[in-house]
Structure 1
Amino acid sequence: MTTVPPTHPWNPPADDRALSPYTGYTRDHWEAVADGLLDAAWRWSTPGRALLDLPGKPSVSGVRSDGLEGYARTFLAAAFRVAGADGKDPHGWLDRYAQGLAAGTRTPGRDDTESWPLILDHHVQGQPMVESASVALGLRLTRPWLWDGLDAAVQDRAEEWLRGALRHVPAPNNWYLFPYTVAAFLESVGRGDEETRRARERALTLLDGWYRGDGWYADGDGRAFDHYNGWALHLYPVLEAHLAGDTVLADRYGPRLREHLECFSLLFGGDGAPIHFGRSLTYRFAASAAVGLGAVTGHTPLTPGASRRLASGALRYFLDRGAVGEDGLLSLGWHGPHEASLQRYSGPASPYWASKAFVCLLAPAGHPLWTAPEEPAPVEEADRVPALPAPGLLVQSTRADGIVRLHNHGSDHVRPHEGESAAQDDAHYGRQAYSTHTGPTAPGNVPDNHLAVEMDGVTSVRRRIHPLGAGDGWAASWHRPVFVSGPPMVPGLRVESVVVARGRYELRVHRVAGAPPGARVVQTGWATGPGDGTPRSLLHGLHGWTGRDEARAPQGTAYTPWARVPRLTAPAEGTGVYACLAVLTGEEGDAPPLEQVAGVESADARGITVRWADGTVTRVGFEPFSVSVSVSGPGGGK
């Protein structure tokens, strides 16, 4: 692993490869990174320190909201840093935030240099509600050293501003945990009432309704399963239980976090990368927040050494790959700047929700999280193919190359009341598979990992995903293809999709039903870049495919500025079954040609039977739907 680039504004400690043989990072590194990020961000504060106006293109919420975002999200990092050091604040961070709180709440809503925007409904410039939770949590964490020393008038003004979160409507998802966090803080300082009680009760009632099992919450009433599970839906209630010493709350939500980490810990690559999946990926190493929280609260199946390996691995992964620019600021993107990774709500300070990763600093220096030797990450221990039936996901990891793949047959970004439109295609949910080493191609480029139906040259999009199930090494779903021009849908057109994972191989089977005359089907594989050191992407047709070529994605992915995508094509009419093998691998050396890995024994419109080279037989049936595996030879599949 490379060293931290010299352009970073902080001077990191030397690597400790005895204590941390995988990452070299210790608690001192985490404190140094927090201090470095804070120092760079504070260079852009207003004179009264109420807003941090970081340079860059404003978000849709506007410059003032973005400035509040800079204050609030960096406050999280400072609060975890100081609280974890039992109030020691050698850089005087809390004095700055105290001054900013006083200035920002003096005349909220006023158009001047310092005033914070009002907290309104989510559809009316609602971003300040998000930031209110970070302000409240920062004040909760640092109460003895910040809040308790404020003038009563400033405390009253801060409370009045924060109560805007309790009196306005959040977005119908994890946003309900923002007024929850505000209410919890107000109650912790003796300012609770019926309004705070209702906010907390409403949030937890919704949260329980969104719980789907396997440790996963949907982010709202739909089927959005992504990183918000860790850095929001688990974080706020479990951290509140920890800070309040609320054993009832901890017993209610702690076991869900533990179960979540059973599978989520598998979604980090051997190089430390989190899975590149879902929205708000510019929050980067916030993906490790659930890991750190589990270690701090004890609600984790991971050993302290494995927890630190994952958290420090994710932190170092991004620092070593240019996430911090020469100005010391976190950029908008993944490694470095990357516009296709962003959402319209992303502004210059948005990446600082990465501060949630510093929750691990609540474990003091003598905690086993910091004193136990690092242990391997799960991906470094063995090949795994666990299924997650509740969210409809299948994890496929290979120890030899450290790549983790996530096959998506249950998570979309379509709310229950919304119709489906190809114009709303979201590459971060609609693709069949994601990984720790590749990203989806940009809009306008050929989509990777996609089964499309083409009509008159118009390619279909996968929007709402209907799970069919997930089991031992497989997952399945169906969807209605939608089109961006012409008729949005073709009557009766339906695609049923199954993936069966064995070692590094993916058997992808689709049944396309109701294809009209003149239609074509297109299957693409993983998008990878040119040159040495990048994974290889292979795609081999087993049944139904008649054409094969390679498409180019000139806008690349978050991992490469230019990408190639293997592609299979075939004419389609009526009902047909199509099967292929896909591979994403970083392994060196020769491997058997895909033609020798598996072959089709039989296939018709009702299903397909595939025999693997080791004698294992996989049968996928569609009438009724079923997936079965039988072994007539020695085990294997690698």
Structure 2
Amino acid sequence: MPELPLPLPPEDRTLSPHTGYTRAHWEATADHLLASALRYTTPGHALVDLPGPPSKSGVRSDGLEGFARTFLLAALRTAGASGKDPHGFLERYTAGLARGTLSPGRDDTESWPVIGHHGIQGQPMVESASVALALRLTAPWTWDTLPAADQDRVERWLRGALTHTPAPNNWYLFPLTVAGFLDSVGRGDTETRRAVERGLDLLDGWYQGQGWYSDGDGRSFDHYNGWALHLYPLLHAHLAGDRRLLDRLGPRLREFLDGFALLFDANGAPIHHGRSLTYRFAANAAVALGALTGTTPLAPGATRRVLSGALRHFLDRGALSADGILTLGWYGPHAATLQRYSGPGSPYWASKGFLALLLPPEDPVWTAPEERAPAEGPDRVLALPAPGLLVQSTARDGLVRLHNHGSYKLDSREPERAPGDPVYARLAYSTRTGPTSAANTADNHIALTARGTRSARIRIHPLAAGPDWLASWHRPVFPEGGPVLPSARIESLTLARGRLELRVHRAVGVPPGTPVHHTGWAVALPPEAAPAPEQPDEITLAGAEVTGQFLGLYGWHTRRVIRAPEGTAYGPWALLPELTGTVGDHPSATVFAALASLTAEPGPPPLTGQVTVEVDDLVLTARWADGTRTVVCLGDDGPTVTEEPA
């Protein structure tokens, strides 16, 4: 395929001083994405077979995924333009609807796969939600133009989502979305009502507070909160004009956005945490949803700043291939960013990021001057005890870090297995670094060594919280066939101040003599940038965009720099610092403390001298350079933290 350069209009630095982007840039990007993807449609337009390795669901399901997710983008683009469709996108999708549902399940060029149970041809259920939502948004120009027989066939295919079992998580919102569409076109019944009520009841059960839902049973908190758990039910309520449901769910979204909007870097990047990161700027869908439904704490100019910042961030950094296709990765292709369910059409869930196009051109989100993003405000530390997340942003560089003391991808029925998922198991994530792969040494990790193997952090249990700190514990889990330490646990606490992170750990029930390893931030660097083997007390790794620093404060006796040859989503090769100590007999010998920093400021001052610590039994006293004293008591009922100002 020939190269297709992205044709963007001139920047408008008067209206949008931070990004230069306006609504016209969003429309041009949507048109470019659609025109590029639709070159890969089958002759009858029923499948979009994008280039790339197939997902575990197979190429037929992948072709439906390409159709459904780009159809959603076309729907947002045309519905936001009151049906104007100068490129004829909807005509092609309408033809594909009729052809794909003519004989579902047949092994021909065009037929869609039937919808099955999760784990048994279940991926089409995911795509049914995009098809249904796109039809709901464009009904006058798609659904209403179909002959009655074609409508009946589309309905029969969609109803497969109502009669099969979803995955025990956000998947239950896909039948809700299908049912909402069928209700909206006069085809609702007891089955559709049951699907909506079931989804909403489960949603209430997953709500944990502070605007955050767990993605099913357990404590899975990630971007699915925004682009699924808030999006589907609240957009359904908005489109249905259901005031009661809006009043029930809207305040949760408002509270969610109060913290979540802080998770976008000044450079536009969303936080790099959790699965399905190849959906990229879909992360901003909840920000647009807040504006669309009137349930946002953000001013219109700040809303557009976050939205356009995320879109531009990825467009500027190679998310599109030369022929205009969203790649499977983060910036460019990156295999470690993907899951087994990721196929060539998967990145087009990024379509959800275009939700703001449903706001009319005269809406203040499009007409108000851009304001600063929340991360560009004063330095902030925000504790979110409900999901167990501590957010840390610094104004001078606009960088955001997320300290994880409560999110993991495992439900109550699943056993803990090493090595753990890198996008959940780490102590910290940021908007400018990514975790190392499971095959390399884990960054931002605390581990024990037993019989030559290192432990993993799988289930993360919240322990205690304060305004600028969070604590949790986990059971050290070794690879299958490895050692088992019956009553061992590691308690971890992070306290954030400016760019600094005080990390305190306690080994409980761990045999004396057991080695303990603690790693810091993984910084993408070229191989020739590797530092000399002999390191001072403080390890500094200076990359092109960020500098990572790591200093052992208490309990460590060796330090080194480790290579991560598989790199991260931010570079093909990375380095990370590591401290090593040993668990002792005395209570104070079970305590370990380190100071970490990740910053984009050039030439940051050393960590040495920023804080000193003393440990007496299970009481750690930290004295900061400004004279403030922080006392951490590591008791059996969980830690407490008190601070005495200078």
TM-score range, shorter chain: over 0.9
Distance 1:73 1:338 in 2: 21
Aligned-pair distance for 1:532? 5.3
Aligned-pair distance for 1:488? 5.1
Matched, 1:508 2:517: no
Match of residue 536 from structure 1: 547
- Bigger CA drift: 573-582 or 229-238? 573-582
Aligned-pair distance for 1:518? 4.4
Aligned-pair distance for 1:590? 4.8
**1:220-299 alignment runs, 5 A limit:** 220-299=216-295
Q: Is this contact kept in 1: 2:523–2:543, CA < 8 A?
A: no
Match of residue 139 from structure 2: 143
Match of residue 555 from structure 1: 566
Aligned-pair distance for 1:8? 4.9
Match of residue 436 from structure 1: 431
Q: Is this contact kept in 2: 1:98–1:146, CA < 8 A?
A: yes
Match of residue 168 from structure 1: 164
Distance 2:598 2:517 in 1: 19
Alpha-carbon deviations, 1:50-95, whole Å to 9, x = none? 0001111000000000000000000110000000000000100100
Match of 1:483 among 459, 478, 492: 478
Aligned-pair distance for 1:601? 3.0
Distance 1:80 1:620 in 2: 51
Distance 2:285 2:344 in 1: 21
Aligned-pair distance for 1:152? 0.3
Q: Is this contact kept in 2: 1:507–1:579, CA < 8 A?
A: yes
Distance 2:11 2:582 in 1: 57
Aligned-pair distance for 1:457? 2.0
Matched, 1:189 2:185: yes
SS at 1:422 equivalent: coil
Distance 1:198 1:31 in 2: 37
Aligned-pair distance for 1:493? 1.2
Q: Is this contact kept in 2: 1:455–1:518, CA < 8 A?
A: no
Match of residue 82 from structure 1: 78
Match of residue 622 from structure 1: 634
Match of 2:323 among 291, 304, 327: 327
Matched, 1:611 2:606: no
Matched, 1:569 2:583: no
CA-based RMSD of the aligned residues comes to 1.2
Match of residue 598 from structure 2: 584
Distance 2:11 2:543 in 1: 27
Q: Is this contact kept in 2: 1:269–1:402, CA < 8 A?
A: yes
Q: Is this contact kept in 1: 2:453–2:482, CA < 8 A?
A: no
Alpha-carbon deviations, 1:77-131, whole Å to 9, x = none? 0000000000000100100000000000000011111100000001102000000
Match of residue 426 from structure 1: 421
Distance 1:417 1:132 in 2: 28
Alpha-carbon deviations, 1:416-441, whole Å to 9, x = none? 11111115x10000000000000000
Match of residue 3 from structure 1: none
**1:299-310 alignment runs, 5 A limit:** 299-310=295-306
Q: Is this contact kept in 2: 1:277–1:429, CA < 8 A?
A: yes
Q: Is this contact kept in 1: 2:471–2:639, CA < 8 A?
A: no
SS at 2:511 equivalent: strand
Alpha-carbon deviations, 1:328-382, whole Å to 9, x = none? 1000000000000000000000000000011100001111010000000011111
SS at 1:407 equivalent: strand
Q: Is this contact kept in 2: 1:64–1:116, CA < 8 A?
A: yes
Matched, 1:601 2:614: yes
**1:285-434 alignment runs, 5 A limit:** 285-423=281-419, 425-434=420-429
Distance 1:330 1:104 in 2: 24
Q: Is this contact kept in 2: 1:466–1:477, CA < 8 A?
A: yes
Distance 2:431 2:484 in 1: 33
Distance 2:247 2:341 in 1: 35
Aligned-pair distance for 1:245? 1.1
Q: Is this contact kept in 2: 1:577–1:603, CA < 8 A?
A: no
Distance 1:288 1:257 in 2: 13
Alpha-carbon deviations, 1:280-328, whole Å to 9, x = none? 0000000000011111111100001000000100000000000001011
**1:20-169 alignment runs, 5 A limit:** 20-169=16-165
Q: Is this contact kept in 2: 1:528–1:534, CA < 8 A?
A: no
SS at 2:552 equivalent: strand
Distance 1:470 1:23 in 2: 36
**Kindly tell me: are residues 64 and 307 of structure 1, through their superposed partners in 2, closer, same or farther at Cα, counting changes over 3 Å?**
same
Aligned-pair distance for 1:273? 0.1
Match of 1:545 among 556, 564, 572: 556
Aligned-pair distance for 1:572? 2.2
Q: Is this contact kept in 1: 2:436–2:522, CA < 8 A?
A: yes
Aligned-pair distance for 1:533? 2.8
Q: Is this contact kept in 1: 2:4–2:36, CA < 8 A?
A: no
Distance 1:532 1:481 in 2: 31
Q: Is this contact kept in 2: 1:241–1:249, CA < 8 A?
A: yes
* Partner amino acid, structure 1, of 2:520: G
- Bigger CA drift: 571-580 or 296-305? 571-580
Aligned-pair distance for 1:180? 0.2
Q: Is this contact kept in 2: 1:545–1:568, CA < 8 A?
A: yes
Match of 1:459 among 454, 459, 468: 454
TM-score (norm 2): 0.95
SS at 2:556 equivalent: coil
Q: Which runs of 5+ in 2 are unaligned?
A: 526-541
What count of residue pairs does the alignment treat as equivalent? 625
Match of residue 539 from structure 2: none
Q: Is this contact kept in 2: 1:431–1:450, CA < 8 A?
A: yes
**Kindly tell me: are residues 406 and 353 of structure 1, through their superposed partners in 2, closer, same or farther at Cα, counting changes over 3 Å?**
same
Distance 1:221 1:404 in 2: 28
Match of residue 523 from structure 1: 518
* Partner amino acid, structure 1, of 2:594: C
* Partner amino acid, structure 2, of 1:114: E
Distance 2:161 2:217 in 1: 21
TM-score (norm 1): 0.96
* Partner amino acid, structure 2, of 1:447: A
Distance 2:158 2:604 in 1: 61
Match of residue 528 from structure 2: none
